[in-house]
Amino acid sequence: MTKYKKQNFSNTFKNARKGMRLSIKSERNIRVHLFTASLVLVTAYCLNFSIVKFCILLLTIAGVISAEMFNSAIEFSLDAIFHNRYCRMVGMAKDIAAGAVMLVTISAVMIGVLLFAPPIIQLITQ
């Protein structure tokens, strides 16, 4: 078994950026989440959201995208270990990871409704 060399601090950031680029390139869902996030942030800016509401949005967006990246990492790892062969346990692990993404995404939508509904209703009723 080969030993991994300890990395210096700048290499860890370089590898993290590489991982982010790989996930954006290879995962359509992450691109969809990023596009949606940009629309949400622009809308929040137009509605004059407070700093606190912006922070809530940023943390929520980061949670969804992170969950999607963890899901992708789990899928890639299992595919590499099992050489893309079907295995019931692998399928279960992938389904659980996808379920976690769905849970975070549903929570994000609920947070979005709670944050955006009052100012939008106020705009409509004026």
pLDDT digits (tens, 9 = 90+) for 45-58: 999 999 999 999 99
**Residue 95 belongs to a domain:** yes
Q: Could you tell me where the DSSP H helices lie in 27-50?
A: 28-46
Domain count, the chain: 1
In a domain, 26, yes or no: yes
Q: What is residue 67's predicted lDDT score, i.e. its pLDDT?
A: 97
Closest CA to 72 of 10, 29, 40: 29
The predicted structure's pLDDT at residue 8: 84
Q: What's the pLDDT tens digit per position in 79-119?
A: 999 998 888 999 999 999 999 999 999 999 999 999 999 99
Asked if residue 119 is part of any domain, the answer here is: yes
Cβ burial, residue 10 (10 Å; 0-12/13-18/19+): exposed
Q: What is the pTM of this model?
A: 0.87
Q: Is residue 7 part of a domain?
A: no
Range of the domain at 48: 14-125
Among 93, 9, 107, 27, residue whose Cα is nearest residue 63: 107
| Contact present, 73 and 16 (Cβ < 8 Å) | no
CATH of the domain at 63: 1.10.287.3610
